[in-house]
Amino acid sequence: MKASSSDAAPDLNRSAVARYIQLASLFRRRIESGQWTVGQQIPTVDELAVEVGVARATIRQALDILAKDQLIERFRAKGTFVRKRPEVQLWCEVATDWSGLLMPRKNAVIQTLSEERGMQPHHVMHPVGTLAPSYQRIRRLHSRTGTPYYLSDLYIDERLASKISRKDFQSKPALKLIADIPGLKIKDARQTLTIGTADVETAKYLDISLNAPVAIVHRTVVDRDGCLVFIGEGLYRGDTLRIDMKLK
């Protein structure tokens, strides 16, 4: 039985993203949601072209992406069938409480990409505290089983950064680095999460498509004297992220 298509054609002119990439995401979502079920035949190239109002070559480009990911399989004279659903890779739960943010990710590998001293952050999301005289900026890439999932830029008060060991930089979550500094008393800590898309640099580091969805997390920590001892920005791959919150 051939899988059915959506009744309403998507408006592909609302985004600067290439049409075939938008369509690949749409078709992937149909498989993921079960609209196109495993083992079923999907609509033909001609039918999909009529449905979404694009050239057949654009449909073929979109289906090529799904075929490369082994989500569909083509058979000569028979059609195209769903081979499997996208793998769920919810590796990373973004905690919404302080204790959760201090916990390390199982099997995570942290790579330091760059370090700079004498820096000041370009932007501070939360209007709390006063800036330190200078910061050490560390860019890190977090991976699991060889796949990158989180890119972060950390600004740590330079007077405190020297108290953090090289081993800790390669193993601890950002806020755990701060919480474990001897003698530091934390007065305030904040986190804001927004949704965005990957730019060229982010796409390269996280090994995702340009304009793929990402979660952007801003975190700040203020010490008891009102100094912003930590300012961080991180970008999570959208396909590895989960947020759970107890509502009642």
Farthest CA pair distance, the chain: 73
The reported pTM is 0.68
Task: Provide the angle, in degrees to the nearest 10, between the axes of the packed helices 19-33 and 56-68.
Answer: 50
Q: Closest by alpha carbon to 84, among 5, 22, 28, 26?
A: 28
Residue-by-residue pLDDT tens, the chain, 248 positions: 666 655 566 767 665 567 888 888 889 889 888 899 999 999 999 999 999 999 999 999 999 989 988 899 999 889 999 999 876 554 555 655 656 665 666 778 999 999 999 999 988 999 899 999 999 999 999 998 888 989 999 999 999 999 999 999 988 989 899 999 999 999 999 999 998 888 989 989 998 877 788 899 999 999 999 999 999 999 998 877 777 666 66
Instruction: Tell me how far apart the alpha carbons of residues 9 and 22 are, in angstroms, rounded to a whole number.
Output: 13
